[in-house]
Amino acid sequence: MKFSLSWLKQYLETEATVEEIAAKLNAVGIEVEGIEDPTEKLAGFRVARVLTAARHPDADKLQVLTVDTGEGDPLQVVCGAPNARAGLVGVLGLPGATVPANGLVLRKSAIRGVESNGMMCSTRELELGEDHDGIIELPEDAPVGTAFAEYHGADPVIEVAITPNRPDCMGLYGIARDLAAAGLGTLQPIEQLDLPGTFPCPVEVRTDDPEGCPAFYGRVVKGVKNGASPQWLQERLKAAGQRPISALVDATNYMMLAYGRPAHAYDLAKLNGAVVARRAKDGETVLALNEKEYTLDSDMTVIADDAGVHDIAGIMGGEHSGCGDDTTDILLEIAYFDPERIAKTGRKLNLTSDARSRFERGIDPAFLDTGLDHLTQLIQTLCGGEASEVVRAGAAPATPKVVHFDPALTEKLGGVRVDLEEQKRILAALGFSVVTEEAGFDKAWAVTVPGWRPDIDGAPDLVEEVVRIHGLDRVESVALPRAEGVAPPTATPVQKLERRVRRAAAARGLHEAVTWSFLPEAEAEAFAEGNGGLWTLSNPISEDMKVMRPSLLPGLLSAAKRNLDRGASSLRLFELGRRYLRGGGGASDERLSLALVLAGDKVARGWVTGKAQPFDAYDAKAEALALLAEAGAPVDKLQVMPVLSEAEGGEAGSQFHPGQSATLRLGPKNVLARFGMLHPRLAQQFDVEGPVALAEIYLDAIPGKKGATTFARSSYSPPALQAVTRDYAFLVPVDLAAGELVRVVRGADKANIVAARLFDDFRGQGVPEGQKSLALEVTLQPLEKSYRDEDLKAIADKVTAAAAKLGAVLRG
């Protein structure tokens, strides 16, 4: 909100400077965002008199002027204004001045070969109006040589930010009230007018929607003469960022900016029948003043007559009933609208306005008659006319809110001791009525809240009012108690796990993505299998974001598509976050997961590699195992569950290719991860081209060690004796998973075998049909003494016996 200093001083009698006013506004919680000083904007411009005017020798439309600046010899200026003439007193911009309208820095120059020492200015160039047909003409007695800023009047403009809880400060009078309460001047009371009207109102005014519009007042003013507003009014509106339109419209805007009270003026000749506040009909339309048509519904309040809707109540008037230059009779409307209804209507229509911003915050319901009288008087002053009697339909809420306030709370909650009399003075200056039987901190006061403060709900709100006016800078800064020594770490085990896994994923060349926790319903349903249903938001930010994600993979697939569509050749994306499931009985369930998507080329084409190589399921498996190991999972104990037939569906879920996917399990039921290739059906749904490998790791499923919450790493201590390696080659059925053989061999002798890994898979000459040769390197770690031959033989017997259970035979 913006206002000029002179306008503020109409309501606040003060000698304070603009700097002092700005400081006090900040102190009472009204943040000053900027101050525009016209003396800076108009620096370098001077009142000057044209002594002579002669035609330019090389241009028919230019004149060469000699100008008296009040100092030294006259200056020569080339000017193209049609009204430039000898004897004219105007405004000269001297070399070095900056033209406010376009930022042009004036300098001495030659125009068509004639030297010019500045520029005679128009009102538009100095941002004082829209006239650009000629240069400014000042009165004959204007003091030549005076700085134009001083002559015109230096009226600074202050811009403030009003928080949503201060509807009273959406009018300049409310800001003046706060400054007066803070001791910066005396608040001028609002004059109570008596304008009874000279004839009955010829228009029926009523409200058929008492919930949306409890009070609807109106009166007719006949014989008005519309036109341009006087200069003082235009300057005040411009200072507030408003464009002057006409006297009638400007008068209603002035009331809104001055007192925070929106009102509206209708051209009486454009109305038909009674003017009614009612609910809109579904499908009704209105052409608003912004020249846009809006479709209404029955939840919205409108102002209408027998012909149709004229006004979206409390938000914006209609185009066809507005006042123009030929308007002679008007209907003034002032009403109280339900703030919640106004807010809902504005959101539905995506329509904002100055009126909406005030009505939805809450306006003073007691200011209807006073506001209508002041608006009537202003219009009669500007446009003349004769006013009718006031017609009142309904009544605004009139029951005052009373808060029981213990003044001792000011020190208890606010941290500052304020005298009883000072507290009463502050509350009274802000418009509160204070009733107390006895003076003393042990007695509560009955404080009546004024109608313009709907934000006050209880005693803590009154503490805030007292403290901010008394001075927040008077609240002593007290440090919180702090234990000596180094503060203990604050990261939880889960946070440490997230950091470790995130760093590991980035170190492996994966790029982190952060996607929405909300999904379109179709994408969420595609990944909702076995998750107990979806969480649907009752108030989503959009229709495409109304379901909480049951998996992180849909968001990553959408991100992969966007990047592939924009020419990315290789993608390695991961995301660490929560998925949202429906628990038993409909309870919410958040699970920590990590998902990754590999798309595009794994290896780019080249003279060594030949064609580009895509990612496959084994790449997703390798990433999943590596990240599970970093998270502390016992990867050597994990089982790769067998893949079901394509007809039965994939083990990893219907989102994965049934023949190229699997799960990693710790035991038969605990699934730690699933990986594989994206199902072609899902690839088509997400419009992703090319093979896509993906994996999802359930970090919440990783069990903790006994007595711990996770597989936390212990400090490493190297063994005293050197490890021993032995190689074993087995003939196994061709359909046996190599990982299953590794797992069985690893568990054959847990006391001595510390690792087992596959290093060869051979199928060919020398291997019987239907079998394959798998070679494993087994690492043995002696503990207290080195192995003897009989020790190694005993371990080997355990290995072969364990492998035999899977049908494996040691090769000769």
Q: Are 167 and 363 in contact (CB under 8 A)?
A: yes
C-alpha 613: how far from its chain's center?
44
Residue 316, classed as helix, strand or coil, is strand
Residue 641, classed as helix, strand or coil, is coil
Residues 6+ apart with CB under 8 A from 608: none
Q: Are 317 and 340 in contact (CB under 8 A)?
A: no
- List 721's β-bridge partners, or say none: none
Q: Are 41 and 100 in contact (CB under 8 A)?
A: yes
Round to whole Å and give the CA distance between 315 and 346.
Answer: 7
Q: Pseudo-torsion of CA 628, 630, 635, 639, nearest 10°? A: 10
Alpha helices by DSSP H, listed for 17-137, are 18-27, 38-41
Round to whole Å and give the CA distance between 26 and 38.
Answer: 22
**Any known ligand binding at 299?**
no
Strand boundaries in 412-532, DSSP class E: 433-435, 445-449, 511-512, 518-519
Minimal CA–CA distance to 779: which of 719, 730, 733? Answer: 719
**Any known ligand binding at 636?**
no
**Any known ligand binding at 455?**
yes
Q: How many CB atoms lie within 10 A of CB 48?
A: 29
> How distant, in Å, are the alpha carbons of 12, 14, 188, 366, 759 from that of 431?
15, 19, 13, 13, 86
Round to whole Å and give the CA distance between 448 and 437.
Answer: 15
Q: What is the DSSP letter of 375?
A: H
Round to whole Å and give the CA distance between 413 and 395.
Answer: 38
Q: Record the tokens describing residue 244, joined without a space.
A: 């002057």
Span between the terminal Cα atoms of the chain, in Å: 92
**Any known ligand binding at 630?**
no
Q: Record the tokens describing residue 768, joined without a space.
A: 């019987």
C-alpha 408: how far from its chain's center?
38
Alpha helices by DSSP H, listed for 208-300, are 231-239, 247-259
Q: Are 108 and 95 in contact (CB under 8 A)?
A: yes
Q: What angle do CA 168, 170, 172 make, to 5 degrees?
A: 90
DSSP string, 384-439: --EE---EEEE----PPEEEEE-TTHHHHHHSS---HHHHHHHHHHTT-EEE-SS-
Round to whole Å and give the CA distance between 137 and 439.
Answer: 65
Q: Are 657 and 649 in contact (CB under 8 A)?
A: no
Binding-site residues for Mg(2+):
455, 461, 464-465
Binding-site residues:
455, 461, 464-465
